Amino acid sequence: MSTWLRQHWQTFSLTLARLAGNPLATLLNVMVIGVALALPLGGYMLLQNLGSVTRQVTGNPQVSLFLAPEAGKADVAAIEARLRQMPGVRAVRFISREQALAGLKRSENMAEVIAALQSNPLPDAFVVEAGGSAAELEKMEPELKALPKVAHVQLDSAWVKRLETLVALGRTAVLILATLLAFGLVAVTFNTIRLQILTQKDEIEVSKLIGATDAFIRRPFFYLGFIQGTLGALAALAIVYLCMLILNRSILALAQLYGSDFRLGFFGFPDCLALLTFAAMLGWLGAYMSVSRHLADIEPR
């Protein structure tokens, strides 16, 4: 066992030495892999942050009922009684037109506009909070619209659903892009290993003449692909992290205008480890395909 481990360590050290001996070519290959991985990785990070915002603002599903202008106090009481009797309704809150107008007046952006109005244009409204999901609330929508003196029903979670749909679409697009660029990573590794095999052709022939096994000859090329994939993943993480720092400066300034401290968050350790493992395996796969294709063509003369 110790002999086997020593052989692998020697091969690993030799591979690192060869990469360090040609730093420019190594850097270019690593940066190509890093940029290819950074594109879907950056998209995934943005979608992950957007998804967390969506989950924070979703809260309990709500629906707003806007009453007709001619609705009186008796109509308001009757509607409230009907709403509280409906199954699935968790809470009912009445907002009079005067309360709604006072709320708008407290907003400094709307104060001048409200002051210029001759009369109150806002209707009385009910905010209904459901105890179930947004889907259950949508099933109640026709019944709510049928209530007397109800002019309009608006699902407050509708925009969240649209946002979630866009996020899901973005995830699909990132997955497609990641798949295409994964093939690119394999192709880069395949070509790099092919060039290494051609460069070491004489060395490989001599190794076969003195009895070296195929496993022994293949081993350094597998390590080369593995190391290149890992270094490429580290480069991708560095690129995405640097871009995140640059974007957060602008995002923080924008968020402060809305009274928020939102900023992009980076990946946790499990996500980083998954990326490193995925890229290393893709590098190994490219090396395996290249070695299987080209090494068999080299035979001692």
CATH number reported for the structural domain that contains residue 120 in this entry:
3.30.70.3040
Could you give the number of structural domains in the chain?
Answer: 2
Residues 179 and 286 in one domain: yes
Residues 50 and 75 in one domain: no
Q: Tens digits of per-residue pLDDT, 20-49?
A: 888 888 888 888 888 888 888 888 888 888
Q: Which is more confidently placed, 255 or 9?
A: 9
Residues 225 and 105 in one domain: no
User: What mean pLDDT do residues 66-90 have?
Assistant: 84
Q: Tens digits of per-residue pLDDT, 222-279?
A: 888 888 889 999 999 999 999 988 888 888 777 776 666 778 888 888 989 998 998 8
Looking at 139, 155, 171, which one is the last position of a domain?
155
Distance CA 271, CA 276 (A): 9
Residues 41 and 176 in one domain: yes
Distance CA 13, CA 254 (A): 49
Residues 35 and 134 in one domain: no
Residues 183 and 51 in one domain: yes
92 close to 80: Cβ distance less than 8 angstroms: yes
Segments forming the whole domain that contains residue 277: 2-57+161-297
Q: What percent of the chain has pLDDT over 70?
A: 81
The amino acid sitting at 272 is C
Distance CA 46, CA 162 (A): 17
Looking at 155, 181, 202, which one is the last position of a domain?
155
281 CA to centre of own chain: 21
- Write out the DSSP string of 247-259: HHHHHHHHHHHTT
pLDDT given at position 189: 83
164 CA to centre of own chain: 12
Residues 199 and 286 in one domain: yes
Residues 29 and 129 in one domain: no
Residues 31 and 80 in one domain: no
Q: Tens digits of per-residue pLDDT, 125-166?
A: 888 887 655 666 677 778 888 888 888 887 766 666 676 677
Residues 280 and 207 in one domain: yes
Q: At 197, list the tokens.
A: 């095999």
Closest alpha carbon to 85 in 140, 138, 155, 125: 140
Confidence category of residue 58, pLDDT binned at 50, 70, 90: low
Least confident window among 61-75, 112-126, 178-192: 112-126
Looking at 129, 155, 181, which one is the last position of a domain?
155
Residues 72 and 40 in one domain: no
Confidence category of residue 292, pLDDT binned at 50, 70, 90: confident
Residues 259 and 123 in one domain: no
